[in-house]
Structure formats: C-alpha cells, structure tokens
Amino acid sequence: MNKKIKLIFFDMEGTIFEKVSKLSKGKIAPSAWTRLAEHLGKDALEEEEWTKEKWNNDEYAGYVEWMEDTIRIHQKYGLDQKFFEKVMRSIKYHQGVKETFKELKKQGYKTALISGGFKAQADRALKDLKINHAFAACEYLWNRNGKLIHWNLLPCDYEGKLDFMKLIIKEHGLRKNQCAFVGDGRNDIPFAQAVGLSIAFNGAPELQKVSTYSVNQKKNKEDFREILKYL
C-alpha cells in the first residue's frame, strides 16, 4: 500500500457501479439518468438524448440547468418513487468493489464519492461500503403517493466536482499529493490531474493518457480489486 496516500476519491457510475445502459447514442456516457429515460419510453429517451446534444453544444449555463431539463422529462412521462427506487436497486456493483473498500478501510484510508448522479444511488454505496464522504448531484423528494414533488440539486459534476474535491482535501488538512482518484470517463480528466495519484479503471483513452495508472480488463470480466495494486 502507498503510505503517502491518505484520501481516495471515487467516481460512481462506471467506476464502482457497472455502466447501466447500452441504448444511449450520444457522446455522454450512459448513466442512471438514461436508464430511467429508457424505461419511461421511446419519446422520453429521445428527449433525454436531445438534452445531451444541448450540453455537447454548450447550450446550458451549467450542470444544474441540464439536470432541471432532464427532471422535467421525468415528470412529463410519469416517473414515480416505486420505479425510481427499483432502478436504483438494480444497478450492480463491479465485482470486487465491496472487498476493495473493506481492504481500504482496514488499511486506514479515507474515502470519498463524488458523482453527477443520484443521491439515492450514492447513499446506497455510502451505507454498503462505509464511505467517509459522498456527494451526488440530484436528490428526489416524493409525496406519500410516490409522486415527484421537489428535488435538491448540487453542481457536483465537471467543474463543481473539482470544487468538492478541493473542499474535502482542505477539511482533512492534506496536500494533493496525499490524495488519489479512481474514475473511468473523459469528464474525469480534471480530477485525475488534481491529485497525486490517479487510476483509470477501464477508462476512456483520454483519461488513461493523463492518469498515473490504467486498469484495462475484458468486458464482463471486470474486477475492482485490481486497483489495490496501485495504492
């Protein structure tokens, strides 16, 4: 184990959880947002893909505005609490994730999860893996009939994710070379560059180019324990 590293940041979707969708045709990596749209129907998925195109064309002021557009789609096509929670439960961890976090805790590492996804999914990981800090972009609030009535949004993806990382590093009184990051997407490049050690877990080629280490495994043969070799 790398005794210099004290705190490890993790991306969520595609990193500790398996990628959840194959139907998305946009440049943005598929996510739980896309899984929800798929199950709400063809029209919902097409509208969700349209929001991704708007993002790629820099037509949103920021990540929160993009989420608000997607939430309107969920409301329009009748997303309810029962189905939402079913989707959150259905997303699988990568093989070896629970064993990896157990070992990290045993070795005394602090861990943090920062995601542009749903708080419900992050809370599941927080509980299961005993993560020290978890930030997620979207929290849904439901009434007693399971109808979506409100939400809480945090800008913790892209530039916002980097701000949360810096805050946690400061709170622990650490320097960036005492921190590590594990992720998989192109959007993780700034975070890999903001710490002393970074691991691209079956990551995009662009992320692998800037990461300290890369783990590349065959599809459906992924094992998260491989990252322990580099920590």
Indicate the pairing of strand 133-142 with strand 110-118.
parallel
- Supply the pLDDT for residue 158: 74
CB atoms within 10 A of CB 190: 14
How far apart are alpha carbons 29 and 79 in whole angstroms? Answer: 22
DSSP state of 15: T
Give the SS3 label for residue 86: helix
Q: What phi, psi does 8 have (nearest 5°)?
A: -120, 125
pLDDT values of the chain reduced to their tens digit, one per residue, 231 residues: 667 999 999 999 999 999 865 544 444 556 888 889 888 999 999 999 999 899 889 999 999 999 999 999 999 999 999 999 999 999 999 999 999 999 999 999 999 999 999 999 999 999 999 999 999 999 999 999 999 999 999 988 777 888 999 999 999 999 999 999 999 988 899 999 999 999 999 999 999 999 999 999 998 899 999 999 999
CATH number of 7-18+93-230: 3.40.50.1000
| Lookup result for tokens 């997407």 | 185
